[in-house]
Amino acid sequence: MAVLAAAWLSPLAGLDRVLLSASFGSMFLVSTLAPALLLLGQPLTLAYRASGPRAHRHLRRLTRSAPLRLVTFPVVAWLLYAGITYAWQFSSLTDWAMRYYGVWLAQQLSLLAAGAAFWWPGLCSDPPPWRMGYTLRVFYVFVEMTHKGLFGAMFLAAQEPFHPSVATRLPNWAPAALTDQRLGILLVSVGGSLVFFFAIVGIVREWMAYDARYSRRLDARLARQREAEQRRRAALEQIFRRPI
């Protein structure tokens, strides 16, 4: 919630109507960082614990609904996340969102929803409708990290502003239009790569912890089997009065 407050209630919320870099920074917070942190808080688990049986039925119906299963299917979620973020960053929608409050509100809500749809199957902090194994989860996030880095490098090489109308409205104290654009792309690309990197580290650590728990359970089961075999042999020796 603090990240959303920084994007919506801090001075950044005013600057993102003026500077492209501030607009991109706000979009990064809302689409990438905030959804990941919100999902790590396990909101569905908390909702289940804090609600009664009737609310449980509604939550189960919601999480098993066809629309939610569709948008959280990993391939669909990845495409939605990439498509929505690029649409708001590199189309005329960027200019409209900086001019009109209603468009800005639609931008922020759609980015937050797309980010949540992307992160849910990747983080699995709450059980998602589609659960991937650890290998696929690492690959899923790694692909997005690589994709963001490559496209960020490509956009940084641009020699002309993507949004000329925004460039013409820059105040006198603002950096040059191309500098402002590159700063915004750096915020999204580098910031996103860091978030994705730490997400991969977290998934790998969770994977290692799972393997350690599985190994302990397997060792305990084998120990019980050996103990049972020893008891069986001891019982047979008692019956036949000779070593088995």
Which of the two residues, 13 and 88, has the higher pLDDT score?
A: 88
SS3 content of the chain, % helix, strand, coil (to 5): 80, 0, 20
Instruction: Kindly state the average pLDDT of the residues 183-210.
Output: 91
Q: How many CA atoms lie within 13 A of 136 on its CB side?
A: 11
Q: State the pLDDT at residue 34.
A: 92
pLDDT digits (tens, 9 = 90+) for 115-165: 999 999 999 888 888 889 999 999 999 999 988 888 888 788 778 888 787
Q: In Å, how far are 7, 151, 177 from 181, measured between CA atoms?
A: 18, 14, 6
The answer, yes or no, to whether residue 244 has pLDDT greater than 70, is: no
Q: How many CB atoms lie within 10 A of CB 83?
A: 11
114-131 CB burial, b ≥16 within 10 A, e <16: bbbbbbbbbbbbbebbee
| Residue pair 111/84 in contact by the 8 Å Cβ criterion | yes
Q: State the pLDDT at residue 137.
A: 93
Q: Return the biggest CA–CA distance within the chain.
A: 101
Going by the DSSP 8-state scheme, the letter that residue 33 receives in this structure is I
**CA dist., res. 131 & res. 123, Å (int):** 10
pLDDT digits (tens, 9 = 90+) for 18-42: 888 888 888 999 999 999 999 998 8
| Residue pair 72/46 in contact by the 8 Å Cβ criterion | no
Q: In Å, how far are 20, 69, 70, 89, 216 from 171, measured between CA atoms?
A: 12, 45, 44, 20, 63
pLDDT digits (tens, 9 = 90+) for 200-233: 999 999 999 988 888 888 888 888 888 888 888 8
**CA dist., res. 27 & res. 102, Å (int):** 16
Give 89's pLDDT tier (boundaries 50, 70, 90): confident
Pick from 56, 174, 166, 38: nearest CA to 111: 38
Q: How many residues does the chain have?
A: 244
The reported pTM is 0.84
The answer, yes or no, to whether residue 235 has pLDDT greater than 80, is: no
Token pair listed for 183: 């700063």
Token pair listed for 191: 């910031």
Give the chain's radius of gyration (CA, Å).
25
Q: State the pLDDT at residue 158.
A: 78
Token pair listed for 133: 């194994």
pLDDT digits (tens, 9 = 90+) for 95-119: 888 888 899 999 999 999 999 999 9
| Residue pair 20/175 in contact by the 8 Å Cβ criterion | no
Residue with tokens 């730490």: 198
For the chain, what is the mean pLDDT? Answer: 86
Give 78's pLDDT tier (boundaries 50, 70, 90): very high
Q: State the pLDDT at residue 10.
A: 78
**CA dist., res. 27 & res. 12, Å (int):** 11
Q: State the pLDDT at residue 242.
A: 58
Q: State the pLDDT at residue 241.
A: 65
Q: State the pLDDT at residue 205.
A: 93
